[in-house]
Amino acid sequence: MIDREPRGTDTKFDVGSRAGETDTTAAAVAVVSGYLDVQRPDTVFRIVSHLTVGGLSASRWGMLEATASTEPIRTLDNIATEFKRLADKWREDTEGYSSMTIMAAHDNYLAIVKMGWLAVPLILRELRDSGGSWYKALRVITGENPVTPEMAGDISRIDEAWLNWGRALRLI
Amino acid sequence: MSLPFSLHWQLPNLIAGEFEVASQATKQYNCVAWALGDDTKWWDTEPEGHWPPNVPREWTLANLMKVLELQGFERCDNADLEEAFEKIAVYTRQDGTLTHVARQRPNGVWTSKLGESVDIEHQLHGLEDASPGAYYGAATVFLRRPPP
């Protein structure tokens, strides 16, 4: 859960745990998705323990403090609901296609990519539970690619490579 | 085994004619693989797909033709059943977008893998739709090779 409390010119982000949602995930996405601008010199982090995602560190348990973000404030609940709506419609419209390129050109897929790191845990859960060609979205958002050329065409191995990547980062 | 509800809407001519669902849904292989008799790999131009090394990884009809030629296919004029050949039909939209590949069985019935969904047995025109926003468009290119 990510809450925001206006405090003068600053914005306080509390990152905590809740049922069905790991604090680790919440913390990671808060930082890497643009809620907090880590490049700004006046951004302050109180790091209790560390999680590295995409080269950035996030607090696992504690509180993140930062000056105001330019990003609109969204709760993870809202994001998950929006993701589900986009993903379901994408699957409905594209499940008969055999080209990942065509599937990834769908408006809803592009909208999910635009959600950035916030979508990554949701994509990984979707991949684990319902399948789908989410690889391009994961590559574009994260800049990572755990899939080796030898895996090309072997969908089970590719899924497992991404899921292992996500597990290593505690995103799922 | 059944056709996903969404594909009922996307493929109206399939529902209007005769077809049979022949497998469970799986994303282990796609229509290109199935047309080539491979049910173990997803043939695609994205990095995650299996694709011959000497063919550009861009999803176009021209590149698919190169792949099929590497598999022993040559262009032919029509989809008519010929005992000495196995045939493939390539579907494209009006704008030329490559959308689908189907394979003809020895009895003349066509078989297709519908993306990440099921295999079906169908009539060639069951997957066709002439409208601009058609899902697969029409079977526009035909190829043949001696049975493997």
State whether A38 and A83 are in the same domain.
no
State whether A42 and A85 are in the same domain.
no
Q: What is the pTM of this model?
A: 0.78
Task: Mark yes or no for CB contact B50/A147 under 8 Å.
Answer: no
Share of chain A above pLDDT 70, in %: 55
Amino acid at site B64: L
Residue A73 has pLDDT above 60, yes or no: no
Helix (H, G, I), strand (E, B) or coil at A116: helix
Amino acid at site A153: G
Number of Cβ within a 10 Å radius of residue A40: 12
Mean pLDDT of A63-92: 67
Asked if A92 and B6 count as a contact pair (C-beta separation under 8 A), the reply is: yes
Taking only the tens place, the pLDDT of each residue in A94-129 is 999 999 999 999 999 999 999 888 889 999 999 999
Of A44, A67, A90, which closes a domain? A67
State whether A158 and A112 are in the same domain.
yes
Which pLDDT score, from 0 to 100, does residue A79 have?
80
State whether A155 and A90 are in the same domain.
yes
A96 contacts on B by Cβ (under 8 Å): 6-7, 10-11, 114-115, 117, 135-136
Q: Which of B32, B42, B99 sits opposite A155 (nearest CB)?
A: B42
State whether A83 and A12 are in the same domain.
no
Residue A75 has pLDDT above 70, yes or no: no
Residue B31, chain A, CB below 8 Å: the answer is yes
Residue A154 has pLDDT above 60, yes or no: yes
Task: Count up the domains in chain A and report the number.
Answer: 2
CA distance linking residue A47 with residue B93, whole number of Å: 54
Q: Tokens 């790091």, residue?
A: A47
Asked if B127 and B13 count as a contact pair (C-beta separation under 8 A), the reply is: yes
- Helix boundaries (H) for A75-132: 76-94, 100-104, 107-114, 120-130
Residue A55 has pLDDT above 50, yes or no: no
Residue A51 has pLDDT above 70, yes or no: no
- pLDDT below 50 — which residues of chain B? none
B89 contacts on A by Cβ (under 8 Å): none
Which pLDDT score, from 0 to 100, does residue B1 have?
77
CA distance linking residue B117 with residue B100, whole number of Å: 13
Q: Which of A131, A145, A152 sits opposite B27 (nearest CB)?
A: A131
B6 contacts on A by Cβ (under 8 Å): 91-93, 95-96
Distance from CA of A96 to the nearest CA of B (A): 4
Residues of A with CB under 8 A from a CB of B: 91-104, 131-133, 135-136, 139, 145, 147, 149, 151-156, 158
CA distance linking residue B46 with residue A150, whole number of Å: 14
Pick among A98, A129, A145, A155 to test the B interface (most B CBs inside 10 A): A98
Range of the domain at A164: 76-168
State whether A59 and A112 are in the same domain.
no
Taking only the tens place, the pLDDT of each residue in B60-87 is 999 999 999 999 999 999 999 999 999 9
CA distance linking residue A35 with residue A94, whole number of Å: 31
Residue A160 has pLDDT above 80, yes or no: yes
Partners of B141 in the β-ladder? B90
CA distance linking residue A6 with residue A8, whole number of Å: 6
Size of interface A-B (CB pairs under 8 A): 93
CA distance linking residue A50 with residue A70, whole number of Å: 25
Edge-first strand order for the sheet with B138-145 is B19-21, B119-122, B110-113, B98-104, B86-92, B138-145, B74-76
Q: pLDDT category, A77, cuts 50, 70, 90?
A: low
Of A67, A98, A118, which closes a domain? A67
Mean pLDDT of A134-146: 96
State whether A107 and A58 are in the same domain.
no
Closest CA to B103 of B69, B74, B144: B144
DSSP B124: G
CA B47 to chain centre: 21
Nearest chain A residue to B44 by CA distance is: A99
